Amino acid sequence: MNHRTVVNLALLPAACAWAQEKPLNIVYIMCDDHSYQTISAYGSTVNHTPNIDRLAERGVRFTNSFVANSLSGPSRACMLTGKHSHANGFTDNTKRFDGSQQTFPKLLQQAGYQTAMIGKWHLVSLPTGFDYYDILTGQGDYYNPTFICNGQHLQRHGYSTTITTNLALNWLANQRDPQRPFCLFIHHKAPHRTWMPDLQDLELFSDSTYELPSNFYDDYSGRRAAQQQRMSIAKDMDVVYDLKMADRDSIIHSFDPTLEQWGRAMYTQRMDSAQQAAWDRHYQPLIAKFRERFGQKIASGTMTRADSLELNRWKYQQYMRDYLRVIHSVDRNVGRVLDYLEDNDLLENTLIVYTSDQGFYMGEHGWFDKRFMYEESFRTPLIMSLPTAYGGKQGVTSDAMVQNIDYAPTFLQATGTAIPSDIQGESVLGEIQSSRVQGFKGSRVRKLKKRNLYYHYYEYPDEHRVNRHFGIRTPRYSLMRFYGDVNQWELYDLQRDPENMHNLYGKPGTLNLTRKLKKKLLQLQELYDDPIRHTVKD
């Protein structure tokens, strides 16, 4: 279903007069590593997400939504502060977020809002700016996870996505002051690696087969940084740690003993006996088949090329099935939140947001994970549903170029809270609200003009060996500069090459275009005061 705007514009002044008396709440749902390729509202051919789609039907789906740094902790810091990584200080996951700095939850608190953070935090320091927090420790666990509830460590029984939703709904029902507006973060661990499904979803997609992406066997010609990475499904996705082939007698081994140790611990030590039994009923038959087909050949080093190609296909299918099972649980719990808001008359004055901390590779270029400025990891899903009483559009798309540093100013403007001058993002309220709306404190918005986006990734060589790089993304072109161990420019015409396969930098006929893009890139670095502009030369 693809509705057009259903707001009766003639009724907007009266509706917004009511809205002026009833402050806008915010429910901000975010997942970790949720790819837009697996959301049916974004045209997915491999998955159906009816509840996320339901939110898109009553809001605005952004088709050009990006992050500033495609890595979990840094992305969250950008979102909280409305600033790029160099400005908020959390450039990579080895850092600790400075909780004393300005964040939009603190600004909302000062404006009289109740704020709550529930689920995945992943910023090392404890949350500040929240009246209530109940966060997963570190990366969090899928089964029987430990939370830190306002400073107290508590292990809770069950599945992480469901527990996080339960805590959020309990806060809405029993812990907030119903006389005050609120901003609630519901941040899920899912679908972060290692994609452990809810027990009730283990048999989903067992009979499904997924076509390999057309560039699964990309040879990375002309892209040295891509040649160096370690996020290949074929080479780097571990059969024990990632794909759960943790046999009890340890015949199957990982290429990395540490990964094998972690995997065996996750799949045998975290669950209670009933959970383990359900898990084993699903995975032990798969393990037996894997050992029969590949086990002896892997152990003896007698794998042929044909065997290796078959193993690659097997790994991809196993990855996709588990990942999509985890998304199924996310979608189910999004539906629970929407049902609660509807049943308790909160839909009429709550801005609901669904997004991810970054995109994710579903086999494109042969990869999993993120980090690169290439499209699949740079892009992220973003759906915003503003109530019609506040002039919200319904069932439409926006092709505006938006970034996660834009969330903070959007939330501030939507609630009538002043936006500090040092916030680097721009409000996108004008993209989700009718231009004719008048009469409530978040009005007088403007649509985003055509803009260019700045990206900077820092974490190297940790884990996946993706080189540091920065770049500019225009509506058509992507120019990026890798620096450090690999020093190389890359240029892509995304209209002709949306998959980032053909590096045009230095090719005949691109000189003038490259000069213009470099000039615009430098202007962005100066606008955002990124010190890298002084140290990395062409």
Task: Indicate if 302 and 348 belong to the same structural domain.
Answer: no
Q: What CATH code is carried by the domain that includes residue 428?
A: 3.40.720.10
* CATH number for 468: 3.30.1120.10
Nearest to 56 by CA among 134, 129, 2: 2
The predicted-structure confidence for 348-358, as pLDDT tens digits, reads as follows 999 999 999 99
Angle subtended at Cα 458 by Cα 484 and Cα 239, rounded to the nearest 5 degrees: 100
In this structure, the answer to whether residues 297 and 351 fall within a common structural domain is: no
CB atoms within 10 A of CB 326: 28
18 domain-assigned: yes
Domain boundary pick from 432, 461, 493: 432
Position 327 scores a pLDDT of 98
Q: Are residues 284 and 326 in the same domain?
A: no
Q: Is residue 202 part of a domain?
A: no
Q: In this predicted structure, what is the pLDDT of residue 1?
A: 33
Q: What is the pLDDT of residue 537?
A: 72
Query: Residue 296: what pLDDT?
Result: 85
Other CB atoms within 10 Å distance of the CB of residue 22: 14
Q: Looking at 292, 319, 346, which one is the last position of a domain?
A: 319
What domain range is 280 assigned to?
A: 227-319
Own/partner long-range contacts of 505-514 (Cβ < 8 Å, ≥24 apart): 505/479, 513/477, 514/479, 514/489
In a domain, 222, yes or no: no
Shared domain for 421 and 468, answered yes or no, is: no
At which residue do the structure tokens 């559009």 appear?
393
- Give a yes or no: residue 209 inside a domain: no
Token pair in block for residue 454:
């700045």
Which tens digits make up the pLDDT trace of 319-338? 999 999 999 999 999 999 99
- Indicate whether 306 and 331 sit together in one domain: no
Q: Three-class SS of residue 248?
A: coil
Angle between helices 407-414 and 72-81 (to 10 degrees): 30
Tokens of 301: 């080093």
The strands making up 132-136's β-sheet, listed across from edge to edge, are: 152-155, 146-149, 132-136, 114-119, 182-187, 25-31, 350-356, 382-385, 60-62, 396-398
Closest by CA to 22, choosing from 444, 445, 446, 439, is 439
Residues 313 and 341 in one domain: no
Q: How many Å apart are CA 86 and CA 529, to the nearest integer?
A: 9
How would you classify the pairing of strands 182-187 and 350-356? unpaired
Among 432, 467, 499, the domain boundary falls at 432
**Structure tokens, 259:** 């990964």
> 218 in a domain, yes or no?
no
Q: What b/e string do you get for 439-454 counting C-beta neighbours within 10 Å, with b at 16 or more?
A: bbebbebeebeeebbb
Please tell me whether residues 18 and 126 are part of one structural domain: yes
| Nearest to 66, CA basis, from 493, 478, 503 | 478
Under DSSP, is residue 404 helix (H, G, I), strand (E, B) or coil?
helix
Q: Token pair of 512, please?
A: 């003038």
Q: Is 183 left (phi over 0), alpha (psi -120 to 50) or beta?
A: beta
Strand order in the sheet with 453-457: 453-457, 469-473, 477-482, 488-493
355: nearest Cα among 92, 31, 89: 31
Residue 40, token pair as written in the block: 């049916």
Indicate whether 204 belongs to any domain: no
Residue 530 · residue 86 · CB < 8 Å: yes
Alpha-carbon distance of 119 to 113, in angstroms, equals 20
Is 441 a member of any domain? Answer: no
Give the count of domains, the chain: 3
Question: What pLDDT was estimated at residue 18?
Answer: 44
Note whether residue 528 is domain-resident: yes
Instruction: Name the one residue in this structure whose structure tokens are 């936006």.
Output: 419
The C-alpha atoms of residue 452 and residue 195 are separated, in whole angstroms, by 34
Strand partners, 384: 60, 353
3-class SS letters over 318-378: HHHHHHHHHHHHHHHHHHHHHHHHHHCCCHHHEEEEEEECCCCCCCHHHECCCCCCCHHHH
List the one residue out of 97, 91, 98 whose CA is nearest residue 71: 91
The whole-number pLDDT of residue 536 equals: 77
Clarify whether residues 119 and 244 are in a common domain.
no
Q: What DSSP designation does 428 have? A: -
Give the separation between CA 307 and CA 118, rounded to whole angstroms. 45
pLDDT at 12: 41
Spatial contact of 12 and 391, defined as CB atoms under 8 Å apart: yes
538 residues of the chain, pLDDT tens digit each: 333 233 333 334 444 544 556 899 999 999 999 999 999 999 999 999 999 999 999 999 999 999 999 999 999 999 999 999 999 999 999 999 999 999 999 999 999 999 999 999 999 999 999 999 999 999 999 999 999 999 999 999 999 999 999 999 999 999 999 999 999 999 999 999 999 999 999 999 999 999 999 999 999 999 999 999 999 999 999 999 999 999 999 889 888 999 999 999 999 889 999 999 999 999 999 999 999 999 888 888 899 999 999 999 999 999 999 999 999 999 999 999 999 999 999 999 999 999 999 999 999 999 999 999 999 999 999 999 999 999 999 999 999 999 999 999 999 999 999 999 999 999 999 999 986 555 556 555 677 777 999 999 999 998 899 999 999 999 999 999 999 999 999 999 999 999 999 999 999 999 999 999 999 999 999 999 999 988 877 7
Judge if 133 and 22 occupy the same domain.
yes
Do 186 and 231 belong together in one domain? Answer: no
Asked if 294 and 334 sit in the same domain, the reply is no
User: Do 35 and 144 reside in the same domain of the chain?
Assistant: yes
